């Protein structure tokens, strides 16, 4: 199996570390691409209010390490006007950095108590703002309303914007949706713009997201489904461990490299 997808490392895997440490670890692990995190109150590797000087500094850091940005994680609570404002800032960052995909979620990083009508009151403005800048939005498999590909498809149909698609997450679908990614992924594939490759240990609501190959998800089958389904979009490795406190930097680096090497052995590079 040889897949054409670009494979990146997600800086959120370095949640409690600096952007410099994240980029250095991702590059040293063998990745050529990166998903940058700009999530207020969580992982603010790219500040939402970054000025041109700061963005230039970040771009030079990536250039020096041979990294190219795949996407921006710009999660905010899109059921609120404050969250919409942050979403618009994240889209601005994408435009300024030349990034074509902005990942988000209905209730942001934290919320599962989601108000779908409130979300619908905001998503069209964000979608149109993004479309005017040639940016696609990936609604993550996360929370209750988009807990699986099967649940997300009717939400996309209700939104009715061609640039609003799915950011699939191979572990979140088990954590939130209580279904296996190998069963649900084929449903999501036609509407996927981005995919988080994330492993999981334990059943249901067990927060244990180790490196690729250290959990229970069958990534050989996942990649086979992706290849058979013709999805050639970006893939990003995200490791969230046991949550806070995060492991030592050396362990994060080891997990990122092991994840890269295991995926490379399955046909990704």
**From CA 55, how far away is CA 52, in angstroms rounded?**
5
Q: Which residues pair with 139 in a beta bridge?
A: 104, 166
Q: 161 in a domain, yes or no?
A: yes
pLDDT one digit per residue (tens) for the chain, 269 residues: 779 999 999 999 999 999 999 999 999 999 999 999 999 999 999 999 999 999 999 999 999 999 999 999 999 999 999 999 999 999 999 999 999 999 999 976 655 567 899 999 999 999 999 999 999 999 999 999 999 999 999 999 999 999 999 999 999 999 999 999 999 999 999 999 999 999 999 999 999 999 999 999 999 999 999 999 999 999 999 999 999 999 999 999 999 999 999 999 999 97
Q: 193 in a domain, yes or no?
A: yes
pLDDT number for residue 107:
78
Q: 2 in a domain, yes or no?
A: no
Domain of 177 in residue numbering reads as 7-265
- pTM here? 0.97
Q: 27 in a domain, yes or no?
A: yes
**From CA 240, how far away is CA 101, in angstroms rounded?**
21
Q: 40 in a domain, yes or no?
A: yes
Q: 256 in a domain, yes or no?
A: yes
Contact 245, 15 (CB under 8 A): no
Q: 227 in a domain, yes or no?
A: yes
Domain count, the chain: 1
pLDDT number for residue 109:
62
Asked, as a colleague might, if the bond just before 10 is cis with ω within 30 of 0, I would say: no
pLDDT number for residue 232:
96
pLDDT number for residue 111:
55
Q: 257 in a domain, yes or no?
A: yes
Q: CATH number, domain at 19?
A: 3.20.20.150
């Amino acid at each position: 199996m040889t897949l054409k997808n670009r494979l990146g490392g997600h800086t959120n895997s370095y949640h409690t570390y600096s952007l410099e440490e994240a980029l250095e670890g991702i590059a040293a692990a063998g990745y050529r691409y990166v998903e940058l995190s700009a999530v207020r109150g969580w992982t603010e590797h790219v500040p939402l209010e970054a000025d041109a000087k700061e963005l230039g500094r970040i771009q030079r850091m990536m250039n020096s390490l041979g990294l190219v940005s795949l996407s921006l994680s710009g999660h905010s609570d899109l059921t609120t006007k404050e969250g919409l404002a942050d979403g618009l800032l994240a889209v601005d960052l994408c435009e300024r950095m030349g990034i074509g995909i902005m990942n988000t979620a209905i209730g942001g990083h934290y919320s599962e108590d989601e108000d779908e009508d409130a979300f619908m009151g905001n998503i069209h403005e964000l979608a149109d703002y993004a479309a005017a800048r040639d940016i696609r939005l990936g609604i993550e498999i996360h929370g209750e309303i988009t807990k699986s590909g099967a649940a997300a498809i009717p939400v996309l149909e209700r939104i009715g914007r061609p640039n609003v698609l799915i950011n699939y997450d191979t572990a979140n679908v088990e954590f939130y949706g209580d279904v296996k990614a190998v069963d649900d992924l084929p449903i999501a594939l036609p509407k996927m713009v981005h995919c988080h490759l994330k492993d999981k240990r334990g059943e249901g609501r067990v927060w244990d997201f180790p490196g690729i190959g250290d959990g229970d998800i069958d990534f050989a089958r996942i990649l086979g489904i992706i290849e058979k389904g013709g999805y050639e979009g970006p893939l990003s490795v995200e490791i969230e461990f046991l949550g806070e406190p995060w492991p030592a930097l050396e362990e994060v680096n080891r997990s990122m490299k092991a994840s890269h090497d295991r995926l490379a052995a399955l046909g990704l590079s």
